[in-house]
Structure 1
Amino acid sequence: MSARRSSHAWLDNELNDADVLPERRHKARARKPLGRRRIESLTADPETGDAADDVIRFLLDRGHLTEVVAELKSGKEATAYVARGPRGSVLLKLYRDLEARSFKRDGVYREGQVILDQRAARAMQGRTRKGLEMLQAGWVCAEYAHLWQLWRAGLNVPEPLVGPEPSEYAQTTPAVLMRLIGSEDAPAPRLSDASLTPEEARSAWRQAVQGMADLLRLGYAHGDYSTYNLLWWENTVIIIDFPQLTTRSNPNFQQLLRRDAESLATSFRRHGLTETAEQTLREVQRRALGPGPEPRVLLP
């Protein structure tokens, strides 16, 4: 583990506090790792009002959700569901247990972070049961923390619905709740799936490059930036998927930034654009020197 300090100093407290979630603490007995949840286990029983899944029960009891409606999309590390809450339509992202994910090589994104508790650091490096729980919590907390920072900075990202204090969103592990982009009947499609006119494609490209530049201006590389992690809604590009967001403290930062530029250029070819990775990166770097979006004002 690198000796350089992470920008997420709060992570030490959240990962190493064994009493953050006493009611959610895993039992020591062996259990099958949780992968993709069946929608039937996430919906409340009409007679009792209880859901079979303990995470959903917790979210219902705390008032974060009122109902899980349908599965939206399943990926390599999490499944997204359409849900409802006290503030309207919700995108519920439920991470699989680390042992059940097809995407497991997350170390490249975590380099440069510091975990001050050496026992915790060894547990995570050794991927012990406790270490995996810490990594899982860290992955979820990182997505919330990044969402809050980017949302406040004015970037086009989904609004996080739990927080902004880490002590609040740490309790929802392994779930991340954000405002649904689109509607329940027609959630916003990924750019990779959207049908665009040539004019729309050029607009989407400019917005996507600007979004990557806005991230770079804040000192971030996305780590997985392509049309698969960009939504298209009302002629606007919305950036999603932030747990692997990395900072300049990561020795792999430049490599990840270049890979983002290449992924963006490659994934836009289906929309008829033929920019190279080198051209894309230069344009991102040029735009990152300019002004950023207007920060959002959060009302009490």
Structure 2
Amino acid sequence: MNARWLDAELEGADTSPERRGKFKKKKLLGRRKLEDLVAEDPDQIADDTIRRLIDRGHITGIVAELKSGKEATAYVARGPRGSVLVKLYRELEARSFKNDAIYREGQWIGDVRAERAMQGRSRRGLEMLQGMWVSAEYAHLWTLWQAGLSVPEPLVGPSPFDYEATTPAVLMRLIGSEDQPAPRLSDVRLTPEEARSAWHQSVRGMADLLRLGYAHGDYSTYNLLWWENTVIIIDFPQLTTRQNPHFTQLLRRDAQSLVTSFRKHGIQSDAETTLREVQRLARERGPEPRVMLP
């Protein structure tokens, strides 16, 4: 498989007329308007998902929109344990990034009819894919958090029974504060010393993922936060394992994305050198696992 084909698969979208017209009668849930997510009386909130999160006690209300991406919009919320980041996914057909098949290759579904529905992208299949996308982010977050990696703390779970009930939202502890959420590394200006520290932390973070058998799938300064001189890795629904036949290519692509995005901070490296360093660090001992309180 060549790199051009891989990049096309990773960035591609289904634009066939048949697919575009299939669900044209159904209003797709894309980027929600902030006014639909807030109200003085929670029962008057227009968005079903936010009302459900409030009813279940996960949050007390949405404060502000933080950032809108290709597949989801992040909101700052308040909750019983402090500030919360609510990542609210759009429906699959309403996303600008739709081709997730390459990340799912190698996954075992265990249900032939479900697999057929997802491959055919029927309405039921799309609902299943949506649920898998959200559940995958929760599951990965819990694995990485418990392993001691520098990632946001998931706030629902670790039982899938709990976090599947929040679909299409993923809830995690907000990095930073309500008034000053942590910025992405792509959006900050660093001193040369800070840039070197951020680079080494980012390379080690990629190695920590590899040690656990993961490739991020979209590893760059756009998915790394910078807070109190610490790099925090985010965005995990497309995380892939060694069972994926494209694992090596995705890992190499992560190294290239990291190298390219760090050039703005004055860091000069190349993908192959970075990948070798990641592989070397992955053979070393990782961070101390976090102790889960009962």
Name the TM-score, length of structure 1 as normaliser.
Answer: 0.89
Q: Deviations over 1:68-124 (max 9, x none)?
A: 000000001000000011010000000000010000110010000111111111000
Alignment match of 1:227 (pick from 202, 221, 231): 221
Confirm whether residue 65 of structure 1 aligns to residue 21 of structure 2: no
Name the TM-score, length of structure 2 as normaliser.
Answer: 0.91
Alignment match of 2:29 (pick from 34, 40, 56): 34
Aligned ranges for residues 1-300 of structure 1 at < 5 Å?
Answer: 31-44=26-39, 46-47=40-41, 49-300=43-294
What is the letter of the counterpart of residue 80 of structure 1?
A: A
C-alpha distance in structure 1 between counterparts of 2:169 and 2:123, whole Å = 19
Q: Give the secondary-structure state (helix, strand or coil) at the position aligned to 2:187.
A: coil
Q: Deviations over 1:168-218 (max 9, x none)?
A: 000000000000000011100000001100000000000000000000000
Q: Give the secondary-structure state (helix, strand or coil) at the position aligned to 1:83.
A: strand
Give 1:261 shift: 0.2
C-alpha distance in structure 2 between counterparts of 1:259 and 1:271, whole Å = 20
Q: Residues 43 and 51 of structure 2 are in contact (CA less than 8 Å); yes or no, is this contact kept in structure 1?
A: no
Provide structure 1 residue ranges, at least 5 long, that are not aligned to the other structure: 1-29
Q: Give the secondary-structure state (helix, strand or coil) at the position aligned to 1:136.
A: helix
C-alpha distance in structure 2 between counterparts of 1:47 and 1:201, whole Å = 46
Q: Deviations over 1:246-280 (max 9, x none)?
A: 00000000000000000000000000001101111
The runs of at least 4 consecutive aligned structure 1 residues that moved more than 4 Å come to none
Which structure exhibits the higher relative contact order, with contacts defined as CA atoms closer than 8 Å and separated by 6 or more residues? Answer: 1
C-alpha distance in structure 2 between counterparts of 1:190 and 1:47, whole Å = 33
C-alpha distance in structure 2 between counterparts of 1:150 and 1:286, whole Å = 20
More helix by share: 2
The residue number in structure 2 matching 1:4 is none
Provide structure 2 residue ranges, at least 5 long, that are not aligned to the other structure: 1-24
How many residues were matched structurally? 272
What is the letter of the counterpart of residue 285 of structure 1?
A: Q
The residue number in structure 1 matching 2:14 is none
Give 1:47 shift: 4.6
What is the letter of the counterpart of residue 135 of structure 1?
A: L
The residue number in structure 2 matching 1:13 is none
C-alpha distance in structure 1 between counterparts of 2:175 and 2:120, whole Å = 38
* Backbone CA RMSD of aligned residues: 1.3
